Structure 1
Amino acid sequence: MPYLTSAVLGAALLCFAVLGLRARWADGPLDDYVTARNSQGAQAIGLSFLASSMGAWILFAPPEIGAFVGPVALAGYAIGSSLPFLVLGLYGPAIRRYLPQGRSIGEFAEACYGVGVRRWVSFVSVAYMACFLAAELTAIGAIAALLSDVPPSLVILGLAVVTLAYTTVGGLRASLATDRWQAWLLLALLVLVGGVAWWWLPPMPAEAVMPSVPAGSALSVALTLVIAVTAANLFHQGYWQRIWAAEDDRALGRGALLGATSSLLVVMAIGGLGMLAAMQGLALGEPPIPFFALLSAAPAWLGLPALVLAVTLVASSVDTLQNAIASMAVASSGRRGLSVRAARLATVALMVPVVWVALQGFSVLRLFLIADLLCAAIVVPVLLGLWQRMSPLAAVGGGLAGLFGAVLPGWVTQGSLSAGVLAASFPGSIPTLAPFLGALLASTLVSLLIAWLRPGVRLHLASKGDT
């Protein structure tokens, strides 16, 4: 069985590599390597949004939220997963007009506010994506250990090397090409695995009830997830690349709508399986893994397509993140003449520490939450960049206010600054609403107040005629 599993996983990874390498843009310029500018239709953009946003996390987080908190919180998670695409679909055309040769969220921040803000935004974006990468590779190692006898380190290294092979050669075009196939494959595998697992469940117990918590707690969790997931995903450079990869504004808007709708439905469906596991009274494990608890009641052969599903999910997000982090490094260098070879070397170099962290099996959830909070503290000032009244002072002031707002709730309730800082670092690795809401509200209010009292002089923006 280990040999069969290894062969199937190897075949899946080989297919992804072939698809990615076939899409390479031989001898293309660096700009095409990191943006594939104006080349993708609506369906390609939509499927790419879906595939790049889905990762192994959907097999853990939504089912657990559904099983323990219920449908309201699950809906919050699904909305948070889809809302960034709608924001980029609505806001992206203005970004394309204002910065037609742009390549990154960092360049957008610099065009609006200057180099200082760009560096901070780039740091937050890379930190978030590095956590995302480490989490995905760690998760596939854990899933491999759970579902097979294949050494987890072998799966982690194999997936990292194969995705690097086609992203370093083909850049963003390779990632976009594999995304289309990975999106359809993961949807088919989700239907197969979820459908068979559901079919083999015993009849629902008469005493079964829908998982739920008090309405106030459920709404609090839902709002926390909407803020955290939306803010963090708006700093995902892979999504920003697709703003410029779309062939026109119409393709971007339709693609964003397709990505948002499909992401919402997938998260709700997989979370619903978690609720089903809880209602069946299955042993959910410690720590809880409701999705895999469902598999325990299904035929043994289902473990193999479930593992292929997990590999597809991780590959689709990892290749996007690899190219996205490399594009941030290239764009942040400020060297328009930087070579494609240097970009490829940057991709490989940035993966070395991430793979090392994944091989250690660390929990990265706390780092993820901190990165999410940093995103929530500055997301509104960044998105206000196209408003003529905004200035670097308003953006920096709003960002600092967001950090203070994250600490303030714990400071007030527990009576000390150190306690507020500790609460904002999520010591129990549990997302709480107060830091996220404080960060979002404080950054928004201070940005708007400074912009209103001391409007910026935005001659470079007004000259483009985009506001």
Structure 2
Amino acid sequence: MDLHGYQVLVWVLSSVLITGFVAFALTTAYLRRRRLRGTMRFNMEEFITARSQIGALRLGWSFFAGALGAWVISGPPSYTASGFNYGAGAIGLVMYSLASGLPVIMVALAGNVIRRKVPHVLSLTDFMGWRFGWAAKTYVVLLCLFNMSIACLAEYTTIGTLFGTYLGTKSWVINIIVGATTMIYTAYGGLYISILTDQVQGIAVTLLFAFCVIYVAADFRYPLPTPFPGDCCGSAGCTENPMGFCLAGTNKPGYSSIFVMPASLFTATVFSEAMWQRAWASSDRKALLKGSILGCTGIVLVVFFVGLCGILAAWGGQITATTDYNLYFFAALGAINENNNIDKWIGVIVILLAVGMNMSAVDSLQNGLTAGISSHLLKGRPVSWTKLAVLIINVPLIVLGARPGGLDLKVLDLFLLANMICCTSAIPVLSGLAECLHRFIGGASMIFSCVFPIFCTSWYGVDYFYRNWDTIRVAAAYGYDCTTVPVVTPDMSAEDAAAAQSYIDTCSGAKYQTDSFGSAMNYTWMGNGYAWDFFLVPLGVSIGSLILCGVLNAALQRWWKQPAVLGFTAPATHPHLYPSEPQDKVSEGSTDGEEAKGRSSQEEFDGKPSGSFITKSEGPAPTAAEPVQA
């Protein structure tokens, strides 16, 4: 089958798959509304939390499908199998796999703590407002929106690459279709329907992945050099290893992954409302914990398999200088040609797999964006305002994900930026869970401990860049003159075009041609190759800042009897605040304008949103929440 035939086949099957998911979501949402009309208020809280309605099995599928997006097709293979001292090899494979799944369990454990403290919490940022105050809540919600937007951009970039580069069609078309369809059914059904759709999408993804595993086991017959290549040279002059692979992972990226992968993925998960929403939706503590374990297991297995395929492709000589780094998985399947286009039927299966994962991840992120915006920035406003805000955020992400004008976005670089920013702030945010720190860490202390590491990391990165300029300037090590880069033209022969493209790819890796401040900042936040020291600095400084603030506050309380710098070293902003309403009281606003019927035995909120609190001088905090009636 030629390229045009594959294009027609993929688009037809993708349309059927997308239509099926959307039809299931809309039909299920409609039937549920009819069944529960008069017994449940379909308002803001129900829309973004699906409070206490989801059991363990559905939670497991939702964690699995929501965490595994199309990024899995691109991220793990390029992380393990990139050449020239960038790929982390087998060590990186193990750490990437474990660190992708275990944060789900962390969310479950922390989510149970938050539910016990503030039973009617709508989002992580709601808890931040209760614990640290308005300013800290604003900072956290902005960081959550940034992190989820980067994750969404990575999704659009991956699916855009598959349909644009690999399939050879317009990448923006699939981005618009996925973005629009997921927004339609999430806007109509909310989190509950998104979780039900995750279950269907998760089952479909599992079946397709099982097929890929069987295919690789049966078809991968490329000669593998023996022993396992351990030559980790970092220049183009390696005769035995011209691509510079280090498949054992015995290099800086490999050893760095032991610390970097847990640090980056755990902290990034902290700022993903898409994951925290499952904690509010779980029926009880046991269901949440069991669901997180199920989801974690599935995530680890899938990431390990795809990352292993990247190593197999490099080991078997299937990755060349012209292979797009977002498409290494297809090289292991033998389903990619020298032009990075599809040339085997198994590629169709993988694209369908990517579409299913892309939809499940994007709808989860859109629900997370909705939770973050509606619980703070647009609190008290109709939920239609939030839906419009989510649409506005998605538009530029869809455009950038289509890689306009030759924009070269690498999924790993996008995640590197988000993960490093999250590393600066995750520990101060999680410190809000510790009761013993309430007297010593206030809102301003928390913000200082988040912002100061950003400046320190930038300072460290710029200094590192200037001190190691000769090493970082990759072009000099490769022996290429990147001041004049060739251009691939249609009239070139296939050999000349491949040679020119190889030259271009090499020079694109050597993007730091001048030792400017802009290049230094770019290297610090998007080009350090997941080096361990660039993650240790923000984590270490944030922990040190917390200790400094806590010790200073304790000293001031002991010797001055009261804080001298209000807010910065003051005790927790709200150390004794408890919810003003039980959990089953819900916030104002309706997703469809229906008259609120609710429970006749309960009063309305008198205009108060569910996030309002009162101060009580004594008495224990609520420890249990009444489930939403269904």
Taking structure 2 as the reference length, the TM-score comes to 0.69
Matched with 2:42 is: 28
1:175 Cα deviation after fit = 1.2
| Aligned residues of 1:197 and 1:297 also touching (Cα < 8 A) | no
Q: Secondary structure at the match of 2:212?
A: helix
Matches for 1:407-418 after TM superposition, within 5 Å:
407-410=458-461, 413=464
The 1:58/1:200 distance shift into structure 2, 3 A limit, reads same
Which secondary structure state, in structure 1, belongs to the residue aligned with residue 128 of structure 2?
A: helix
Does 1:124 find its partner at 2:143? Answer: yes
Whichever structure has more helix as a proportion of its residues is 1
Q: 1:422 — aligned with what? A: 521
- Give the conservation status (yes or no) of the 8 Å contact 1:406–1:434: no
Do the aligned partners of 1:408 and 1:438 also contact (CA within 8 Å) in 2? no
Among all aligned residue pairs of Structure 1 and Structure 2, give the percentage whose two residues are the same amino acid: 25
**CA distance, structure 2, for counterparts of residue 392 and residue 427 of structure 1:** 30
Change (3 A) 1:107 1:412: same
Aligned to 2:453: 402
Taking the aligned partners of 2:129 and 2:519, their CA distance within structure 1 comes to 31
Give me the CA root mean square deviation: 2.6
2: CA distance, partners of 1:175 / 1:268 = 26
- Which residue of structure 1 aligns with residue 394 of structure 2? 351
SS class of match (2:267): helix
1:460 aligns with 2:592: no
1:297–1:156: structure 2 CA closer, same or farther, 3 Å change rule? closer
What is the letter of the counterpart of residue 398 of structure 1? S
Contact 1:5 1:150 in 2 (8 A): no
- Structure 1 counterpart of 2:443: 392
User: Which digits, 9 at most, give the CA deviation of each residue in 1:293-328, with x for residues without a partner?
Assistant: 123259822121111011011111001111211221
Deviations 1:401-439, CA, capped at 9 Å, x for gaps: 322442353355467996997267435363322222111
Report the Cα offset of residue 59 of structure 1.
1.1
State the distance in 2 between where 1:192 and 1:241 align. Answer: 31
Residue 158 of structure 1, CA deviation: 1.5
Q: Distance in 1 between matches of 2:60 and 2:396?
A: 31
Contact 2:62/2:202 (<8 A) preserved: yes
What is the match of residue 89 of structure 2?
70
Structure 2 residue corresponding to 1:293, chosen from 331, 341, 345: 331
- Distance (Å, rounded) in 2 between the aligned partners of 1:161 and 1:229: 28
Q: What is the rounded CA distance, in whole Å, between the counterparts of 2:525 and 2:548 in structure 1?
A: 29
Quote the Cα distance in structure 1 between the aligned partners of 2:101 and 2:542. 23
Q: Pairwise mapping of residues 317-356 of structure 1 onto structure 2 (< 5 A)?
A: 317-333=361-377, 335-336=379-380, 338-356=381-399
Name the aligned partner's letter for residue 294 of structure 1: A
1:395: how far off?
1.0
Post-superposition shift, 1:206?
A: 5.0
CA distance in 1, matches of 2:366, 2:19: 18
1:243 match = 279
1:426 aligns to what SS in structure 2?
A: helix
Distance 1:276 1:466, change over 3 A: farther
Does the 8 Å CA contact 1:58/1:267 hold for their aligned counterparts? yes
How far does residue 149 in structure 1 lie from its aligned partner after superposition? 4.8
Residue in structure 2 matched with residue 152 of structure 1 by the alignment: 171
Residues 236-286 of structure 1, C-alpha deviations (whole Å, 9 max, x = no match): 111111110111111111111112222112111111111211222213443
Alignment TM-score, normalising by the size of structure 1: 0.92
Distance 1:194 1:237, change over 3 A: same
Counterpart CA distance in 2 for 1:129 and 1:106 is 14
Structure 1 position 223 matched with structure 2 position 259? yes
> Are 1:56 and 1:136, in contact at CA under 8 Å, matched by a contact in 2?
yes
More displaced 10-residue stretch of structure 1: 216-225 or 188-197: 216-225
Distance in structure 1 (CA, Å) of the matches to 2:309 and 2:130: 45
Aligned pair count? 466
Are the structure 2 counterparts of residues 107 and 214 from structure 1 closer, same or farther at C-alpha, using a change threshold of 3 Å?
same
Q: Secondary structure of 2:525's partner? A: coil
1:26-56 residue CA offsets vs partner (Å, 9 max, x unmatched): 3711111111110111111111111111112
The offset of 1:191, in angstroms, is: 1.8
- 2:417 matched residue in structure 1: 370
Q: Report what 1:432 is aligned to.
A: 531
Give the superposition deviation at 1:341.
3.0
| Residue pair 1:109, 1:382 contacting (<8 A) in 2 also | yes
Deviation sequence 1:378-398 (CA, Å, 0-9, x none): 101111102232322331232
Q: 2:159 aligns with which of 106, 131, 140?
A: 140
Judging changes above 3 Å, is the alpha-carbon distance between structure 1 residues 65 and 333 closer, same or farther for their aligned structure 2 residues? closer
- Secondary structure of the residue aligned to 1:38 is coil
Q: Read off the aligned partner of 2:395 and give its amino acid letter.
A: V
Answering whether residue 138 of structure 2 is matched by residue 39 of structure 1, we say no
1:183 is the counterpart of 2:202: yes
Q: 1:129-152 CA distances to partner (integer Å, 9 max, x unpaired)?
A: 111112211211111134435432
Structure 1 residues without counterparts, runs of 5 or longer: none
Residues 41-60 of structure 1 aligned to structure 2 (within 5 Å): 41-60=55-74
Asked whether the 8 Å contact 1:326–1:343 carries over to 2, the reply is yes
1:80-111 deviation digits (Å, cap 9, x = unpaired): 21232121122111100112111112111111
AA aligned opposite 1:392: G
The alpha-carbon distance between structure 1 residues 352 and 297, as it changes in their structure 2 partners (threshold 3 A), is: closer
2:128 equivalent in structure 1: 109
Larger radius of gyration: 2
Query: SS of the counterpart of 2:425?
Result: helix
Map of 1:193-232 to 2, 5 A cutoff? 193-202=212-221, 204-207=223-226, 209=228, 211-214=247-250, 217-232=253-268
Aligned to 1:260: 296
Aligned residues of 2:416 and 2:526 also touching (Cα < 8 A): no
**For the residues of structure 2 that align with 1:357 and 1:203, how far apart are their CA atoms?**
37
How far the C-alpha of 1:291 sits from its partner, in A, is: 0.7
Between stretches 211-220 and 41-50, larger displacement belongs to: 211-220
- Offset at 1:168? 1.2
Q: Quick one: distance in 2 between partners of 1:423 and 1:161?
A: 32
More divergent stretch after superposition (417-426 vs 81-90):
417-426
1:212 maps to a residue whose letter is A
